[in-house]
Amino acid sequence: MRKNGKQAQTDWVCQTGWKQSAISTPSNRVGLSLFAVCDIIRNVMEEKTHSENIEQPTKEVAHENQSQQNTPPVILKKSRRGWLIALAVLLVIAVTMVALYQLPSIQNRVYYHFTSFRSKVFYYFKPPAQSDFEVSAEEAMNADVAATLTAFAPTATLAPTITPTHAEAVVLPATPTATPAPTAIPAAVQLEGIVQEYQRFNSCGPATLALNLRYWGWVGEQYDIEKIVKPRIEDLNVTPKELLNYVLEYTGQDAILRYGGTVELLKELIAAGYPVFIERGYINRKDGWMGHYGVVDGYDDAQGAVHIPDTNNGYLWIPYDELQAFWDEFHGTYMVIFPPQDRDIVMGMLGADADEAYNIDTTLEKFRERSENVDRSEQYFAYYSLGELLVMKKDYVAAAEAFDNAFAVYNWLPIYDRPWRMLWYQVGPYEAYYYTGRYKTIISLTFKTVTDASTPSLPETFLWSGRANVALGNAEAAIWDFKRALEWHPGWEPAVAELAALGVTP
């Protein structure tokens, strides 16, 4: 049977939609859904055509009966057909859009732009930097009580062990010894094998780690790392230790995590063929200060700069002094990844800093001196780093004092210079205040941190809020906190353990 023009047009749209869906979707179910929609539309069109053929002999009578009406029947019928075709096109477009959204590349872009827009609107009406951190309303407990609490804190793993392949081993004594004069290194080095790749939203850690691991022959994607360290893409941070653990447990490579890094050390490691993974501050001209990861794979003394294939900004050359300043905002945190058989080589290059305890002690003194001597505008990061290092040593009373000083400087800073995201990345203040009995201070800090974020996807913050609520006797609030931590990091063991201690199954 010959089809009229409108029906043929609908058939063409449906057939084309089916073919495109079958090619572009990751699942045949999407294509079948599109085919079903088109089949329904085709049947409706056929019934409509059949009805029009039956009504044709009475067309003149109908026309006379309706001649006095404002709208002619032919126009009404054309209007109905037009609306039906428009509906068909809209349905095809909708199904196609749903199908395309299943593609990870498109899904990531849509999510990024939607979330960025929502965040900009949120921060426009509620600028986080305009409010201060409230940490002075609660007195710290005396040193004896704090020491008792500290005894119940998890034992810091600073003592080196020697033999396990993927453990934090040490081959040099904690006391520095004389070392041979370093061999002169080239004036410029650019390592081959690291290809820049853009990150998914809030995923500079997994993306940068993937770049670093591929240098050593690892085969995988940033998504593979995300599934382990941040099961939900919304999670706003992954810590260096979480990334270190991923390397040691899932890749067959070895790695060390240290602090107090310098440009000179970077150059020595790169010249020996080892890229260096670093955590640093970063200022986005639109969104202000934030934390960021990068892998340094080259340097050039003529430019006075290091090279970073940045997952957010492309290939970058960053001046030595600028890099050091932003790196010090995270107390010079760095990680070196290497094949297990290269451990002795890497540890030898680190010298006395191969010993983790010695490394923390020397870095702590460096930042203690900085906090006392730098300009007040730079004291926030110096005090904050000092507090983080003191937490690593479980000196919670001194750490709490350092964080008090950091927040006092923060409240003094001009609004648009305030690094209000810091507690997303480093949660040392929660631990320091917890083990000095300042539970209300923790509640104040966690409340501000969560409510300042456009999406409160901060499992560490909810974990410490829950612990503070347990200490304050607020069991129901604590359970809610721990469940929220698991909402943003499903299966996260620390939150599961806290709920189990309260007799609650996640």
Lowest mean pLDDT among 46-60, 257-271, 411-425: 46-60
pLDDT score, position 465 = 98
Residue 468 to residue 482: CA distance in whole angstroms: 11
Tell me which residue has tokens 């050091």: 324
At 1 the pLDDT is 44
Spatial separation of the C-alpha atoms in residues 21 and 97, rounded to whole Å:
10
* Range with lowest mean pLDDT among 8-12, 64-68, 443-447: 8-12
CA distance 28 to 37: 14
| Burial of 482 from C-beta contacts in 10 A (0-12 / 13-18 / 19+) | buried
Segment 346-363, tens digit of pLDDT: 999 999 999 999 999 999
Cβ atoms 214, 194 nearer than 8 A: yes
- Residues in CB range of 338: below 8 A, 6 or more apart: 216, 253, 254, 255, 274, 345, 346
> Quick one: what percent of the chain has pLDDT higher than 70?
69
Q: State phi, psi for 245 to the nearest 5 degrees.
A: -60, -35
Mean pLDDT of 438-457: 95
Residue 457, pLDDT above cutoff 60: yes
Instruction: Using the predicted structure, report yes or no on whether residue 101 has a pLDDT greater than 60.
Output: no
What pLDDT is stored for residue 132 in this prediction?
85
Residue 388 is predicted with a pLDDT of 98
Please report, for the chain, the start and end positions of each structural domain, with discontinuous segments joined by +.
Answer: 5-102, 188-354
Say if domain 188-354 classifies as CATH 3.30.70.1290.
no
Contacts of 330 (CB under 8 A, 6+ apart): 279, 280, 281, 291, 385, 425, 426
Residues 477 and 376: their CA atoms lie apart, in Å, by 38
Bigger pLDDT: 376 vs 66: 376
400 has pLDDT over 50: yes
**pLDDT reported for residue 405:** 97
Per-residue burial over 39-54, b if 16 or more Cβ lie within 10 Å, else e, is: eebbeebeebeeeeee
Residue-wise pLDDT for 275-301, tens only, equals 999 999 999 888 899 999 999 999 999
- Per-residue pLDDT averaged across 151-170, rounded? 39
2, 172, 309, 339, 498 from 244: Cα distances, Å: 69, 21, 20, 14, 24
Conformation bin of residue 202: beta by default, left when phi > 0, alpha when psi is -120 to 50: left
Q: What is the pLDDT averaged over residues 73-97?
A: 75
Q: Residue 455: is its pLDDT beyond 80?
A: yes
447 confidence band (pLDDT: 50, 70, 90):
very high
**Residues in Cβ contact with 98 at an 8 Å cutoff, skipping those fewer than 6 apart:** 30
The answer on pLDDT for 15 being more than 70 is no
pLDDT digits (tens, 9 = 90+) for 38-72: 555 555 455 545 554 544 444 444 444 444 445 55
Mean pLDDT of the chain: 81
Q: 157 — alpha (psi -120 to 50), left (phi > 0) or beta?
A: beta
